[in-house]
Amino acid sequence: MNQKIRQLGINPNHWYVVARSRDVNTQPLDVILWNQAIVLFRNKQGKIQALENRCPHRQVKLSHGKIIEGNLECAYHGWQFNAQGECVNIPYLAEHQRLPNCKILQYPVEELDGFIWLFPGKNPTQNQPLGVPEWDHLNYIATVSLIHCQAHYSFLIENLMDMYHGHLHQDWQAWTDAILKKINEDNHRVDAHYQAKSYYKIDKIWSISQLFFPALRQLHPEPLEVSYIYPHWVSTLGKDFKIYCLFCPVSLTETKAYLIHFTSLHSFWRLHKLPIPFRRFLKNKLFGSAQKLLDGLVEQDVKMIEEEQQTYLNQPQQKSYEFNPTLASVQRLIQHQEFLE
């Protein structure tokens, strides 16, 4: 294992997820993406905006302020900035004084599939946000869990790509007995193909109850696919489950990410014939049905990841022994993408 990976930054020329859509309403929101302080807010039309989170007057956070007619007002002296980061009003400006030319940095930002995607690099058109097409699809039930760990993002990616650590999750996991079959790797993604046994089979309407009652689960073989599509992660377990992990690396020793678990309803063909409003009601009603499962997995993983980080900080030269070749592929991809920056 290459421990120097823990000192690498991110490639800024990708779209990262900095918040959920519901987190930004009438008040500005403070977020951090790789040491960059950013403020999110909505303009008069409700469209999401992103600016450098500092007032150029006294360098305090603009996120302390509020939205006035679609402009962001600083809480300290009331200076106002438009969506382009230009100062458009100073309440105590004298008649002979002009507004200062103190434009702050504006970030490309998009609201897509329930999340806010931000591009910290220089050419946002060279990549598109990964997207989560299942988010609004009526045949998928979603659950979201926030991962917030005091560790370099590489530790979390390696955890997600390594399906041999199911031993940790015996009380929460949806699968067991993973066997690595194949790895596909290029400069943009790593795909690891495992064969596993799933505890869940969502083929009848009552089978949703397996999420709540462990005694109803029965092991059966399913393919388990995990992919690091830089900088995010996607996994599928058979035809019933799909999981995304959308990354927001904060710093060398802090990572935020959003884990989104989808349960498929494709097998319920009778359900598909019901009126659209009812199906949408059912989808919304079942939102978060796997919350206990997902939160339990996250809690266990975060504990291990943070211990890995702390050991690295205390003993950076400590040698690690690794038998899953997927992790070497992941590290090569991270190194390549950091080089592309």
Query: For residue 76, what pLDDT is reported?
Result: 93
Q: Residue 314: which residues within 8 A CB-CB, separation 6 or more? A: none
User: What is the model's pLDDT at position 175?
Assistant: 67
Q: Answer whether 107's CB lies under 8 Å from 15's CB.
A: no
Q: What is the CATH number of domain 140-339?
A: 3.90.380.10
What is the per-residue pLDDT for 292?
Answer: 87
Q: What gap in Å lies between CA 311 and CA 215, rounded to an integer?
A: 38
Contacts of 185 (CB under 8 A, 6+ apart): 191, 329, 332, 333
Residue with tokens 């690396």: 249
Q: Please list, in sequence order, all residues whose beta carbon lies within 8 angstroms of the beta carbon of residue 321, skipping any fewer than 6 positions away.
A: 1
Strand order in the sheet with 36-42: 29-33, 36-42, 48-52
And the tokens for 26?
């009438």
pLDDT at 212 exceeding the cut of 60: no
Token match 């790593």: residue?
A: 190
Q: Taking the model in full, what pTM does it have?
A: 0.91
12-118 classified as CATH 3.30.390.10: no
CA 327 to chain CA centroid, Å, is: 20
Tell me: pLDDT of 46 over 60. Answer: yes
Q: Do domains 12-118 and 140-339 have the same CATH topology?
A: no
Query: Residues 13-28, buried b or exposed e (16+ Cβ, 10 A)?
Result: bbbbbbbeeeebeeeb
| Domain ranges, ordered by start, for the chain | 12-118, 140-339
Does 206 score more than 60 pLDDT? no
Task: Return d(Cα 127, Cα 104) in angstroms, integer.
Answer: 24
3-state secondary structure of 228: strand
